[in-house]
């Protein structure tokens, strides 16, 4: 089974490329600090949240999402 995780480095690069701060992303995407924290800890978040982040960053889902193999296979 594959695990899906948000690549924190990619998201940070997207934010930096757009000269945004985390606070700006929270407002632009309409998400909470706790949701952004979940993403930072590579925890599961709803796909609707990922779409909001992509729209706010004007990027593709592949820019913030990485498919990682499960090490328990």
Token pair of 59 as six digits: 């990027």
Residue 53 CB partners (closer than 8 Å, separation 6+): 11, 25, 29, 31, 39, 64
30-34-65-58 Cα dihedral, nearest 10 degrees: 20
Residue 2: its pLDDT value, please? 45
pLDDT of residue 66: 72
Does pTM surpass 0.85?
A: no
Q: What's the confidence (pLDDT) of residue 35?
A: 92
Please name which of 27, 30, 46 lies closest in space to residue 38, comparing C-alpha atoms: 46
The pLDDT tens digits along the chain (73 residues) read: 445 555 566 676 677 777 788 899 999 999 999 998 888 887 888 889 989 999 998 888 888 777 666 555 4
pLDDT value, residue 64 = 79
């Amino acid at each position: 089974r594959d695990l899906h995780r948000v690549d924190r480095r990619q998201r940070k690069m997207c934010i930096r490329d757009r000269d945004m701060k985390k606070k700006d992303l929270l407002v632009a995407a309409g998400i909470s600090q706790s949701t952004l924290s979940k993403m930072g800890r590579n925890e599961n978040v709803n796909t609707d949240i990922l779409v909001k982040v992509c729209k706010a960053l004007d990027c593709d889902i592949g820019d913030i999402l990485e498919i990682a193999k499960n090490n328990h296979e």
